[in-house]
Structure 1
Amino acid sequence: MSTLTSSPSARADAQTTSAANTASARWALVSLALCTLLSSLATSIANVGLPALTVAFNASFQQAQWVVLAYLLAVTTLIVSVGRLGDIVGRRRLLLVGIIVFTASSVLCGLAPALWLLIAARAAQGLGAAVMLALAMASVGETVSKERTGSAMGMLGTMSAIGTALGPSVGGILIAAFGWRSMFLAIVPLALVTFILAQRYLPADRRKPDATRPRFDNVGTLLLASTLAAYALAMTIGRGQFGPLNIVLLSAAILGAGVFVLAEARAESPLIRLTMFRGSALAPSLVMSILVATVVMTTFVVGPFYLARGLGLNEALVGMVMAVGPIISIATGIPSGRIVDRLGAPSMVVIGLALMTVGSLTLAAMPASFGAVGYLVGIAVLSPGYQLFQAANNTVVMADVRADQRGLTSGILNLSRNLGLITGASVMGAVFATASAARDITTASAEAVAHGMHVTFAVAGGLIAIALVMAIASRARARR
C-alpha cells in the first residue's frame, strides 16, 4: 500500500524536476543567445559613431576607423585560442570571465578620455566578444538535446542578425540623444543581465584531473594570432587600394600559416590537431562557410552603391531597402533551425546553398531590368537561404564533435565566417570597382555601377555554386 500511495507523489516530483530542468535549459539558451546578440551589436553599433568620434577627438577618419578595426582584429585573432582554452579550463567558467571582460571594457569605452584609450578598450571588448562567440556555440551541446541542436543554432543566427540590424539605428539614435559615449554604455545593462542568466543557469563544468588535462599551446596561439592579424590587416587597410604594405602583410600571413602548420605537427599538445580535418565534414564545412560569408558581405558592400548610384535612390530609401535583408534573416532564423531538426542538417545545407545560388544570380540579372524590385527579389531568396545554411552547417559541424573539442571547433567555425566577411569586403569590393571601370566608384555613372553589380554578383553566384558542389559531394561521401 505504501508503494501505491507514494507513487503519485514520486511521479509529481519527477514532473516538477523535469519542468525545472526544461526551464533552466531555456534560460541557459537565452543567455547564450544574448552572448551572440551582444557580440554582433558591438560590431555594428560602432560603425555609425565614426563621424562623431572624429569630431570628439579631433581625429582623422583613418584614425577613428581603428575603433572598429581593433574590435574585429581581437575577435578574429583570438577566437580559436579562447575556444580551445575553454575546452581545457571549463567553458562555463571562461564564458563568465568573457562576459565580465566584455562588460568592463564597454564601460571603459564609454568613459575613455582619449582615442588611444578607446581603441585599447575596444580591443579588450573584442577579446570578451571572442570568448562569448566561441563558447556560446560550443555550450549548445550541454544545454539542449542533440535533436534540438538545429533550433538552437537557428536562434543564435537570429540573434546575430538582430544585433547586426539594430546596431546602426540604435547607435544613431543614442548618439543624437546622448552623445557617442552612450552607444557603449547602453550595452552594459544587457551584458549584466547576460552574466546573471549564464551564472545562474549554465550547467557546471565537468572537472578533469590535472594529470589528464592537456596543456595550452602558447607557441601555436602566438603564431596563429600573428598570422590572422597579418591577413586581416592586409585585407582591411588601404581603403580598397592594395599597395606594397598590403602585399607585405599578405606574404607574412602566408609564411605564418606555413610555420604554424609545421609547429602544430610537432607540438605535444597542439592548439589545432591537423588530423581533425581528415575524413570529416569539418574541412568542407569551413570552406563553405568562408565562401558564403564572402557573398553575404558583398551585399553590404555593393548594395548601397548600386541602390544610390545605379538606381538613384536617396539615403532614406537606400536604408529602407538595405534593411529588408536583415529583417528577413531575423524572421527566418528560428524557423530554419526547426526545419533542420525536422528534415536533417546535410540536406538543408544543400537546399540553403541552392537558394543562395539562385539569389546571387537573381541579383546579377534582375535589377538591370526591374530596378529596386529585382534587387529585393534577389535578397528575398538569398537571405533565408543564408539562414538555412548557417543553421544546418553549424549543426553538421557541432552535433557530433567530441565534448573536449567543442570550444576549439566552435572557434574555428566562427573564424571561417569572420575570414569570409573580411575577404568579401576587400576582394569583392575590388571586383566591383574593377568591373565598374571607374577610378572613383563614388562618382561612377549609373551604367558603370550597374555593370559592376552584374559582374560582382555573377562572381558571387559562382562562389556559392562551388560551395553547393562541395556540399553535394560531402553528402554523397557521408551516405557511402
Structure 2
Amino acid sequence: MKLYHALELNFRQEDKIMEQAKPLAQVHVQPGITVTLTLSMLLASLGTSIANIALPTLAEAFSAPFAQVQAVVIAYLAALTVSVVIAGRLGDSRGLKPMLLAGLAVFAFASLLCAAAPNLRWLICARALQGIGAAFLMTLAMALTRQTASKARMGRAMGLLGTVSALGTALGPSLGGLLIAVAGWRGVFWVQFPLAGVAFILAFFKLPDHPDKKISRSVSVSSVLNRSLAPNLVVNLLVAAVMMTTLVVGPFYLGLGLGLKAAQVGFIMAIGPLISIFSGVPSGRLVDAWGSARVLALGLTLLAVGAGLLAFLPNMIGIAGYVISIVVLTPGYQLFQAANNTAALSDAPEESRGTVSGLLSLSRNVGLIVGASAMGAVFSFGVGVEVLAHATALAIASGMHLTFLLASGMMVSAILIANLPVRGRFSRL
C-alpha cells in the first residue's frame, strides 16, 4: 500500500513537472510571436500618422491645393475602415496567419507604389491600397494575439498592442519630419517597405501553423453580434469619438484660445500619446489581475471624469487645467482598451476571432470619424463663428466647454451601456 502511494505521488510530481515545462518550452517561441504582432500593429498605426506631416510638401511637389492633398490621408483611413471586417472574415475562413502574410505583402507593395508615385492621383490610389493592407495588419494582429496568448496573460498582451498603437501614432509625425528633411517626401513611404518586409519574414517563420485545422466557412457578422458583442462595439465607438475630439479641438484651444505657438502646442499635445505609451502594458496587467469588468469600469470612469475636467478646468486655470485633464483622461483610455478588447475576444470562438477583431477595429475607426466630424461641428457651433481663426479667446473657450460637456455625457452613456445585463461575458471574467 505504501508502495502504491509512493508511486502515485511520484506520478503526480512528474505530471506537475510536465505541466510546468510546457510554458518553458514556449519561451523561445513567444518573443518572436510578440515581436511579429507588435511590429504589424506598429506599421498600421504608423501609416495612419506618418503622411500627415508631408501634406505641405506634397502640395508643393504636385502643385495641388490642400483639399486635394488631404485625400492622401483620407484614402488610407477610408480604405482601412471599410476593409477591417472583410479582413477579419477572411482570417476566419482562410486562416489568420496566411491572411496576415497577405496583408503584409499588400502593405509592402503599396508602400513601394507610394514612394514611386509620379503624380498625386497615383499616390492617393496607392495609399488606399496601403490602407487595405493595414486593415489586415491591425485586425489579424489582434486576433492572433488572442490565439497565441494564454487567457491568464490576455490582458497584458492587449495592453502591449495598445502601447504599440499609441507609439506608432505618436512616432509618425516626428519620424516623417526627419525623413522629409533627409530624403524628401518619398522617404516617408520608402521606410515602410523594409519594415513590412521584416514583419513578413518574422510572420512566416515565427507564427505558429495550424495544419490540423480545416478551413471553415466564415461566420456571419449577425451571428457574432448575437453573442452580446454589440455593447462592446457601441462603447468602443463612443470612446474613440471622445479621444479623437481631444486631438481635433485641443490644437484650436491651445493655439487660438491660449495664444500658444505651434511648437508649444505640439509639445503639450504630445503628453497624451506619451502617457499612452507608458500606461498600455500596466493596464493589461491590471486586466489580468482584476478581470475585465473592474478595469472597464475604472477606465470609463476616468474617461468621464477627464472629459468633464476638460469642459471646466482649462477655462479656469489655463494650460495646467488642460494637462491635468489629459493626465486623467489618457490612462482611462488605455485601461478601457485593454479591458474591452480582452472581454470581446476572450470568449470568442476560434472560428470567429478575426471577425470580432474586425468589428472592434471598425467601431473604433467609425468613432474616430465621428469625433473628427460631428464633434468638430459641435465645437464650431459652440464657438459661434464659421472661420475659427477669427474667433476670440472667449468664443474658443465657450466651444471647448460645450464640446467636452457633451463628451462627458457620452462617457456616462458608455458606462450605462457597459453595465447592461446582456454583457454576460464580463460577469464571467
- What's the TM-score bracket when you normalise by the shorter of the two chains? over 0.9
Question: Among residues 18, 21, 29, which one is paired with 2:26 in the alignment?
Answer: 21
Answering whether residue 378 of structure 2 is matched by residue 435 of structure 1, we say no
Amino acid corresponding to residue 74 of structure 1 in structure 2: A
> Which is worse superposed, 199-208 or 183-192?
199-208
**1:29/1:143 contact within 8 Å kept:** no
Amino acid corresponding to residue 94 of structure 1 in structure 2: M
Question: Which secondary structure state, in structure 2, belongs to the residue aligned with residue 204 of structure 1?
Answer: coil
Cα deviation, 1:12-68, whole Å, max 9, x if unaligned, reads 999887534122122202211111111010010111111111111111211111111
Instruction: Give the superposition deviation at 1:112.
Output: 1.1
Distance 1:60 1:207 in 2: 55
Question: Match for residue 305 of structure 2?
Answer: 358
Question: Match for residue 152 of structure 1?
Answer: 157
Amino acid corresponding to residue 299 of structure 1 in structure 2: T
**1:102/1:129 contact within 8 Å kept:** yes
Cα deviation, 1:354-382, whole Å, max 9, x if unaligned, reads 00000000010001111000000000000
Distance 1:470 1:206 in 2: 40
Cα deviation, 1:423-479, whole Å, max 9, x if unaligned, reads 110000000000000121122110000110011000000001100112233488664
Deviating beyond 6 angstroms after TM superposition, the runs of 4 or more aligned structure 1 residues are: 10-17
Once the two structures are aligned, what percentage of the paired residues are identical? 49
**1:364/1:456 contact within 8 Å kept:** yes
Question: Match for residue 320 of structure 1?
Answer: 267
Question: Which secondary structure state, in structure 1, belongs to the residue aligned with residue 26 of structure 2?
Answer: helix
Question: Among residues 331, 353, 370, which one is paired with 2:317 in the alignment?
Answer: 370
Cα deviation, 1:209-242, whole Å, max 9, x if unaligned, reads 47xx32x6xxxxxxxxxxxxxxxxxxxxxxxxxx
Question: Among residues 187, 195, 202, which one is paired with 1:190 in the alignment?
Answer: 195
Question: Match for residue 282 of structure 2?
Answer: 335
Amino acid corresponding to residue 19 of structure 1 in structure 2: L
Amino acid corresponding to residue 314 of structure 1 in structure 2: K
Distance 1:458 1:11 in 2: 56
Instruction: Give the superposition deviation at 1:142.
Output: 2.1
Question: Match for residue 12 of structure 2?
Answer: none
Question: Which secondary structure state, in structure 2, belongs to the residue aligned with residue 23 of structure 1?
Answer: coil
Answering whether residue 295 of structure 2 is matched by residue 348 of structure 1, we say yes
Structure 2, unmatched stretches of 5+, are: 1-14
- Flag the 1:336–1:11 CA change in 2: closer, same or farther, 3 A: closer
- Flag the 1:23–1:169 CA change in 2: closer, same or farther, 3 A: same
**1:81/1:271 contact within 8 Å kept:** no
Question: Match for residue 224 of structure 1?
Answer: none
Cα deviation, 1:294-352, whole Å, max 9, x if unaligned, reads 00000000000000011011111100100000000111001000000000011111110
Distance 2:180 2:117 in 1: 16
- Flag the 1:124–1:310 CA change in 2: closer, same or farther, 3 A: same
Distance 1:70 1:310 in 2: 31
The residue correspondences of 1:236-385 to structure 2 (distance < 5 A) are 271-272=220-221, 274-278=222-226, 280-385=227-332
Question: Among residues 354, 357, 363, which one is paired with 1:416 in the alignment?
Answer: 363
For these two proteins, the number of residue pairs brought into alignment is 416
Instruction: Give the superposition deviation at 1:393.
Output: 0.2
Distance 1:461 1:166 in 2: 28
Question: Match for residue 372 of structure 2?
Answer: 425
Distance 1:70 1:377 in 2: 35
**1:284/1:474 contact within 8 Å kept:** no
- Flag the 1:153–1:185 CA change in 2: closer, same or farther, 3 A: same
Structure 1, unmatched stretches of 5+, are: 1-9, 217-269
Question: Match for residue 11 of structure 2?
Answer: none
**2:155/2:339 contact within 8 Å kept:** yes
Instruction: Give the superposition deviation at 1:104.
Output: 1.4
Distance 1:440 1:370 in 2: 26
Q: TM-score when scaled to structure 1?
A: 0.83
Instruction: Give the superposition deviation at 1:200.
Output: 1.4
Instruction: Give the superposition deviation at 1:191.
Output: 1.6
Question: Match for residue 470 of structure 1?
Answer: 417
**2:40/2:199 contact within 8 Å kept:** yes
The residue correspondences of 1:79-90 to structure 2 (distance < 5 A) are 79-90=84-95
Distance 1:348 1:277 in 2: 23
Answering whether residue 99 of structure 2 is matched by residue 94 of structure 1, we say yes
- Flag the 1:56–1:345 CA change in 2: closer, same or farther, 3 A: same
Instruction: Give the superposition deviation at 1:11.
Output: 11
Distance 2:423 2:17 in 1: 48
Distance 1:134 1:479 in 2: 25
Question: Which secondary structure state, in structure 2, belongs to the residue aligned with residue 139 of structure 1?
Answer: helix
Distance 1:426 1:330 in 2: 26
Question: Among residues 165, 168, 178, which one is paired with 1:173 in the alignment?
Answer: 178
Distance 1:316 1:209 in 2: 55
**1:346/1:475 contact within 8 Å kept:** no
